Every structure is written in structure tokens, then in C-alpha cells.
Structure 1
């Protein structure tokens, strides 16, 4: 282990030791709806959030994932107190919450300098405090002379950098970040992520929305997966949650949902490649890789009692897991699983049979369109 890795591990251990299970924010059966205008005389309610419940703990970094339109940004506005729930309650056990999103809270007619001062004052800093931080904010945001110009002249990336720089130089109890780290050049992204890491080490509570799985895994201790306005899954097992999330993003348009996915062997890497409905069954191809070089034979699915054909060549998987020779021949075909029942995948690994995966596939799952 390198010195840098040891320092990262020690800082994370110290953070774990300092962190309490004291709640910063509670959401209890929260629902939010908007009224949509369908025509001149017709309006309909759109349910953005449906019966959302989870807690945010002081000092933790929580990630929120979900496809575009799943309700993530509405959830952040709710957590920030910008909107109120139509049902349920949001309980804040903190004094200040700052939402960092593209152009959030900026007056387009004011300069970057003026907006930075106002943003800081809105979360409790004095004008004198904010004035003393302006040069640091300007330098971090890399805006140059644009810092003195109206925000309406900024690009989306410039607005994001201003918002990020302002938030990094203020001290809210809870910092909400809505996909801001995806904006900007590579150097700014690297600088921004380091600043977030420093904030995390200072015990601030951070809630992060991002489409970057690797970024989430580097920064977050827990994730909440939101889809169609509901919490699908949450927890600290990020590898398992992201694997299930990726598979469902790929196949949800087929009208199915993969749930209760569990690796019974931590060395297994598995992913569905293609799916085809046949009555109450699902025929699938997959890649099945093991993180230890070994011989894999007789990959079987129960209760259908079907042995998959293969393994076949899989250069793409091999390039992803270059360390494992077995990955270059890890594609299997013609598996069959039963819909609405728990399915198990077993394999002979070095001539020893073991059950390595279990999952359930449901069709047209309510709340997951």
C-alpha cells in the first residue's frame, strides 16, 4: 500500500470514528406533484415524488442516482427547503442547507461578485465575511474579468464554476450538489473533486447527484436510487446497487425489472446482455466472469434447470478485466429464467459446484416505467 493510499485510508477511518448516527434531515412519506397544462382547458397532475422516506446523517456523504426525469433534482429542492411537500414531512436538524446546481439561485442581472456575496449571506454568513472571501472565490472559479460581469453573460460551465467556488468557500451544515462536477474541463473537475474530498474530511454533510459511477464510489458512503419518483434501493453496498442499477437502466424499456439481485460469491462478475420474452420465461445471454483465474463449466439456471451454452469469446469483457485470462472467454448463451420467481445461477468452478447468484425478474413492475 502506497503512502497516499495509507493517508486516504486513515482519513476515512478517522471520519468513520468521528461520524455519529445523528440525523441531519428526515424524509417521511414525502410526495410532490406538479400541475401540467395538457391543453388550453385541460390540466393534469404529474407526480414527481411518491412516498419517499429516508434519513440523512450528519457528516456522511450520500449519493442520489437515477435516470434523467427520475425525480432527483426535485428531491434536492425539497431537501434544500426551496419547495414544500404536498404530502408527508421533511424535518431539518440543521441550520443551513446550500444547493449547488447549474445557475441555481443566481440573479442573472447581477455580477458574479455580487451573486457570490448574496449566496453566502443567504445561508447565514455576514456581508463582511463574504467580502473577505471574494478573491479566493474568483481565483477558484477561474472566471477572470467575467467575475465582474452579469451572470446572464456566462456559459453553463461558468455558472457552475461560480456556484461551486462560492459553495466551497462557505460553510453550510448540508451541501447539496446537483451534477455540477460533470461541468468544466478536466483540470477543473480534478480540482473540484479534491475540494469536495476536503469538505468531506471536514465533517460537512454532502448529498451528491451524479451520473458518474466511479465518482460516486470514490466520494459516497451510501447511495439512494430513485426511479419514477420512488426509492428503489438504498444502502452502503455500492457495488451491488450500481450493478443492479446498470442492468435495469439497460432493460427497463423492455418492461422488466431485475430485483433482489445478490452475489453469493464476491468474486463473480455477471451482466445480462440480451433478453427475449417467451410466455412466462425470459431467455437471455450474459457474461459470467470470475475475478480469480480458474476453470468454469456447466453454468446453470434454476428452477428452469437449463445449462447455458458456452463459454464463448468475449474480447470486450477481456479488455475490461485484463488481469483475468478467463474474462476473454466469458460469454454464455441461452439461459432461461422464470418471471416472478426467484432464480439461481450455479456453476462448476474448478470442478466444484456452487450457487453464485440469485435474482428475481418481474414484468411491468408498478412504479418503474
Structure 2
């Protein structure tokens, strides 16, 4: 379980302080994959980054004893001057101890991404699709209790999307995902429950289809 306790997040703008959310409280249930729904600017990706520990709330806490991945976004967070292999090895060294574990991660991503010789080329030469393949594969190479996916469900062309979805299905048998996506089919396919993020709060739905129906009415 993940407990979001009294989270407040704001930014200073030329027109004054903008609050993304104020005193947000939520319990993300055990053994459930969670969708985060909301309009653009509602704070979904911000909330995902705070849960993943790469952004910080002004106040409040994320309380859990579960392991949580970094947010996996299609844009990625890679160093463009490094090759995909170098980027993968760098990340693996942050999480793993042995050379064997690190090389397993690198080999897994190379095989999964299917980008051939580009795996040893600087990532600033990659298309967005190639970066997505590497980023998605890299996150899946580690074992976490929760995986954070920001517009990064099954990626790529039809054949590769099928391969990615198969990997997601296998992953969900042992772990959970927290997903942000504008593709409502991806959310209903991969998530069990949902939070609708609006007006600085997160409303819980124990049925993903019901949440999507409410969101559609709210978004229109």
C-alpha cells in the first residue's frame, strides 16, 4: 500500500503561486494496478513524480514500505551524448551491486528494444520511438513492487506493442503499475482501480470503467 498524506504542491508563477494540489490524501490499495485520470494540468504527472521520489511536495508525505520505480515516460531521462548501452549501464549501477546483475540488465534492454546497431550510438540521434523502447525496456528489467508509467504503456508499432503488452501482463502477475495515459483503452486494459485528479484532490474509484465514464463527462 502507498499512503499519500497531506500532500501540497505549488509553483510560483508571474501571476502568483499556483497550487497543483492542497492537502491531498489517498491510499493506493494493495495488489491493485492504479490509473491516474485527469485533464491536462491536473497534476497527474507531478503526483507520479512525487510518488517516485524525483520531485518533492511542499509538505506532506508518501508513506510506503514498497519498492517503487522511477517514472517511465516516453520522453525518457537519458543523457543524449551517451549510447543506449552506456545509459543502461549507468542506471543499473545505481540500483545493482554485481557486474553480473548489471550486464543482465543491459542485455535484457538490448534484446527487448530491438534497435540493432543503434544500441551503441548516442541517444541524441534516436527517434522518440527508439528512446521509448529503451526507456520502457530499462524499467522492466528491474524488480519493483510498483511501476510508474507516464504515457508509456505498450509502445511502438503494432508488433512491438504486442510484445510490450505481453511483458506488462507478465509483470502484473507479480507487481502493480500506476499509470498515467491519455489512451483510455490502455488504462482499462492494465488497471483495476483509479483516482480522478481534479481541483487539487484525488477521488478514488474501485472500478476502472466507472472512473473512465465519470472522467469522460468531466473532461467534456
Q: TM-score, normalised by structure 2?
A: 0.91
Q: CA RMSD in A?
A: 1.9
Correspondence for 1:79: 51
Work out the CA distance in 1 between the residues paired with 2:29 and 2:197.
Answer: 18
What is the deviation of 1:228?
A: 4.1
Does residue 239 (structure 1) correspond to residue 206 (structure 2)? The answer is no
Work out the CA distance in 1 between the residues paired with 2:96 and 2:4.
Answer: 24
Correspondence for 1:107: 79
What is the deviation of 1:148?
A: 0.7
For residue 211 of structure 1, give the secondary structure of its aligned residue in structure 2. coil
Correspondence for 1:142: 114
Q: Which has the higher contact order (CA 8 A, sep 6+)?
A: 2
* Alignment CA distance shift 1:237-1:205 (3 Å): closer
Contact persistence 1:61–1:219 (CA under 8 A): yes
* Alignment CA distance shift 1:56-1:188 (3 Å): same
Contact persistence 2:19–2:200 (CA under 8 A): yes
For residue 49 of structure 1, give the secondary structure of its aligned residue in structure 2. strand
Work out the CA distance in 2 between the residues paired with 1:105 and 1:125.
Answer: 22
Work out the CA distance in 2 between the residues paired with 1:110 and 1:49.
Answer: 36
Correspondence for 1:363: none
Does residue 224 (structure 1) correspond to residue 188 (structure 2)? The answer is no
For residue 88 of structure 2, give the secondary structure of its aligned residue in structure 1. helix
Work out the CA distance in 1 between the residues paired with 2:51 and 2:5.
Answer: 12
Give the alignment of 1:259-270 within 5 angstroms.
none
Give the alignment of 1:298-309 within 5 angstroms.
none
Structure 1: unaligned runs, 5 residues or longer: 1-22, 251-369
Structure 2: unaligned runs, 5 residues or longer: none
1:281-317 deviation digits (Å, cap 9, x = unpaired): xxxxxxxxxxxxxxxxxxxxxxxxxxxxxxxxxxxxx
Correspondence for 2:160: 188
**Greater mean deviation of Cα atoms: 120-129 or 212-221:** 120-129
The structure number with the bigger radius of gyration is: 1
Does residue 210 (structure 1) correspond to residue 187 (structure 2)? The answer is no
For residue 153 of structure 2, give the secondary structure of its aligned residue in structure 1. helix
Contact persistence 1:59–1:206 (CA under 8 A): no
Correspondence for 1:338: none
What is the deviation of 1:54?
A: 1.2
Work out the CA distance in 2 between the residues paired with 1:66 and 1:144.
Answer: 37
What is the deviation of 1:183?
A: 4.3
Work out the CA distance in 2 between the residues paired with 1:197 and 1:108.
Answer: 30
Work out the CA distance in 2 between the residues paired with 1:195 and 1:226.
Answer: 28
1:103-133 deviation digits (Å, cap 9, x = unpaired): 4332222110111122233334644312123
Correspondence for 1:365: none
For residue 77 of structure 2, give the secondary structure of its aligned residue in structure 1. coil
* Alignment CA distance shift 1:76-1:123 (3 Å): farther
Runs of 4+ in structure 1 deviating by more than 6 angstroms, as ranges, are none
What is the deviation of 1:237?
A: 2.1
Work out the CA distance in 1 between the residues paired with 2:200 and 2:85.
Answer: 37
1:241-260 deviation digits (Å, cap 9, x = unpaired): 2112111111xxxxxxxxxx
Correspondence for 1:123: 95
* Alignment CA distance shift 1:73-1:126 (3 Å): farther
* Alignment CA distance shift 1:160-1:27 (3 Å): same
